[in-house]
């Protein structure tokens, strides 16, 4: 990974430093660390280390100067930078989230006695594309879990409670700021035409490949046949109506891509349990049913034993946090959506889990090297690479065991029936 050291004592970095530290800060140098993407992103990411001193530090005794010099070695502000080019600016809503919504949501969460749900935003530029300069959570011991492993029960419970807090705060916020709803995209509104290449073709390819494997398992032959039917027109006709906001029992501001790589956890040093979680990458946020975030998290991010044995209690934990936030800010009790509303939304949108299983979950299980090779190829992925990717995904024991369990559940719920 290339690391660049830049001598830069004026301009944007100096302005950024003074905004964070104060007028006494004097920029000494900037270290730029590019970040290797682990999947296809519509943005460029890198880290900045701003090393600085404070004005008038040398106007002290020799002993004090030595102490200050030692302290100065640790005077570094660490920042995570995300650049979204103009070509993708119109489809990313992060500038709205970071600029308008998240500050208010974090205020609500603070009032409720819990921590902010997102990293601090230090600075933002929105000319053409957008640039967000954020608190570098990795510098203060936040980490992501390996996407191919997923969350254990303790981690899953902690995160889903945080998701409930986020949704609760956003529900309250939108109830008194309805004007913000129009600024958010509606997930999959309209048709799939603009997503055909990215979504439908690759989804269908995965289904065709996986259905041959599934059909070879005793007792799964009928399921494999139904999988092959749930493509193209059948898929569209069942998939698109899920996102009709008018059909939802209630809506919130959803994260839109709620899975392992967009959650950073901090663990307690003594017992090793999660003590905080922050969500990042809000570019797919929308105003829609909370069920979409819940399905996404449950399908893509849980270890299979957790998914099999604890889904019902995890949903209860989610609702408890959602309800507690609204109760803490004195939202009228009789207007708070019930747990039955959440469960009803999960049932209504269950077909979304089929999409998640066949595409995002499968792609998330790709090995690190192949994921990077595929993201580097972007629009020039050749057939040989695609074949290697499919073999890699569908030789993964976690993928196969998860398919065996979830597809049987789909069959019991008649999800793939025409």
| CA–CA distance, 131 with 122 (Å, rounded to integer) | 11
- Helix (H) or strand (E) segment spanning residue 33: strand 25-34
Q: Which domains does the chain have, with CATH numbers?
A: 4-84 (no CATH), 94-118+142-412 (3.90.1200)
| CA–CA distance, 34 with 2 (Å, rounded to integer) | 7
pLDDT score at 12: 83
pLDDT score at 200: 76
User: Which tens digit of pLDDT belongs to each residue from 261-300?
Assistant: 999 999 999 999 999 999 999 988 999 999 999 999 999 9
User: Which tens digit of pLDDT belongs to each residue from 81-104?
Assistant: 988 776 555 567 788 899 899 999
Q: Are 290 and 252 in contact (CB under 8 A)?
A: yes
Letter string b/e over residues 194-230, b meaning 16 or more CB atoms within 10 A of that residue's CB: eeeeebbebbbebbebbbebbeeeeebeebbebbbeb
Is the C-alpha dihedral spanning 112, 118, 122, 125 positive or negative? Answer: negative
pLDDT score at 377: 67
Q: Minimal CA–CA distance to 126: which of 87, 83, 184, 91?
A: 83
Question: Where does 112-149 have alpha helices with state H?
Answer: none
Maximum alpha-carbon separation in the chain = 83
| CA–CA distance, 406 with 176 (Å, rounded to integer) | 39
Q: Are 327 and 336 in contact (CB under 8 A)?
A: yes
* Neighbour-count burial of 144, counting CB atoms closer than 10 A to its CB (0-12 exposed, 13-18 middle, 19+ buried): middle
pLDDT score at 40: 46
Q: Are 261 and 142 in contact (CB under 8 A)?
A: no
Mean pLDDT by 10 residues, the chain (418 residues): 45 86 88 70 80 72 56 79 68 83 97 96 81 92 95 98 98 94 70 56 89 98 97 90 92 96 96 97 92 98 98 98 97 97 98 96 92 72 86 96 98 95
Query: What are the two backbone dihedrals, phi and then psi, of residue 218, each rounded to the nearest 5 degrees?
Result: -60, 130
Query: What are the two backbone dihedrals, phi and then psi, of residue 34, each rounded to the nearest 5 degrees?
Result: -65, 150
| CA–CA distance, 259 with 155 (Å, rounded to integer) | 12
Q: How many CB atoms lie within 10 A of CB 364?
A: 22
pTM attached to this predicted model: 0.91
| CA–CA distance, 349 with 302 (Å, rounded to integer) | 19
| CA–CA distance, 191 with 330 (Å, rounded to integer) | 40
Distances (CA, A) of 217 to 187, 222, 403, 407: 35, 10, 11, 12
DSSP character for 244?
Answer: -
* Neighbour-count burial of 254, counting CB atoms closer than 10 A to its CB (0-12 exposed, 13-18 middle, 19+ buried): buried
| CA–CA distance, 108 with 114 (Å, rounded to integer) | 9
Give the torsion through C-alpha atoms of 114, 118, 122, 123, to 10 deg: -140
What residues contact 305, with CB distance under 8 A and at least 6 apart?
none
139: tokens are 């510098």
306: tokens are 């957790």
Q: Minimal CA–CA distance to 90: which of 43, 129, 125?
A: 129
| CA–CA distance, 96 with 342 (Å, rounded to integer) | 26
């Amino acid at each position: 990974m290339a690391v660049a050291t830049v001598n830069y004592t004026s301009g944007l970095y100096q302005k950024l430093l003074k905004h964070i530290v104060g007028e006494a800060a004097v920029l000494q140098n900037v270290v730029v660390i590019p970040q290797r993407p682990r999947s296809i992103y519509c943005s460029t990411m890198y880290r900045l280390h701003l090393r600085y001193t404070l004005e008038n530090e040398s106007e002290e005794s020799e002993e004090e100067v030595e102490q200050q010099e030692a302290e100065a070695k640790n005077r570094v502000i660490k920042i995570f930078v995300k650049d979204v080019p103009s070509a993708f600016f119109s489809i990313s809503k992060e500038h709205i989230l970071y600029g308008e919504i998240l500050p208010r949501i974090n205020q609500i969460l603070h009032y409720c006695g819990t921590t902010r749900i997102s990293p601090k935003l230090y600075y933002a530029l929105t000319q053409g594309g957008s640039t967000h300069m954020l608190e570098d959570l990795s510098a203060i011991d936040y980490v992501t879990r390996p996407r191919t492993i997923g969350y254990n029960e303790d981690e899953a419970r902690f995160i889903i409670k945080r998701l409930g807090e986020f949704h609760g705060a956003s529900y309250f916020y939108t109830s008194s700021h309805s004007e913000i709803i129009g600024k958010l995209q509606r997930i999959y509104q309209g048709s799939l035409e603009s997503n055909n290449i990215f979504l439908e073709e690759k989804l269908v390819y995965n289904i065709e490949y996986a259905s041959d494997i599934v059909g070879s398992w005793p007792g799964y032959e009928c399921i494999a046949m139904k999988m092959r039917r749930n493509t193209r027109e059948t898929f569209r006709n069942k998939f698109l109506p899920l996102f009709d906001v008018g059909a939802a029992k209630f809506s919130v501001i959803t994260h839109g891509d709620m899975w392992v790589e967009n959650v950073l956890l901090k663990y307690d040093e003594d017992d090793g349990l999660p003590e905080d979680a922050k969500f990042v990458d809000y570019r797919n946020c929308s105003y829609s049913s909370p069920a979409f975030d819940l399905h996404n998290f449950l399908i893509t991010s849980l270890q299979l034993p957790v998914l099999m044995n604890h889904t019902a209690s995890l949903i209860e934990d989610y609702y408890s946090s959602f309800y507690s936030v609204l109760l803490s800010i004195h939202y009228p009790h009789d207007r708070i959506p019930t747990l039955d509303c959440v469960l009803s939304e999960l049932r209504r949108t269950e077909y979304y889990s089929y999409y998640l299983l066949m595409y995002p979950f499968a792609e998330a299980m790709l090995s690190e090297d192949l994921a990077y090779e595929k993201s580097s190829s972007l629009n020039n992925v050749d057939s040989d690479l695609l074949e290697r990717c499919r073999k890699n995904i569908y030789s993964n024991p976690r993928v196969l065991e998860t398919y065996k369990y979830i597809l049987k559940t789909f069959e019991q719920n008649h999800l793939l029936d025409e």
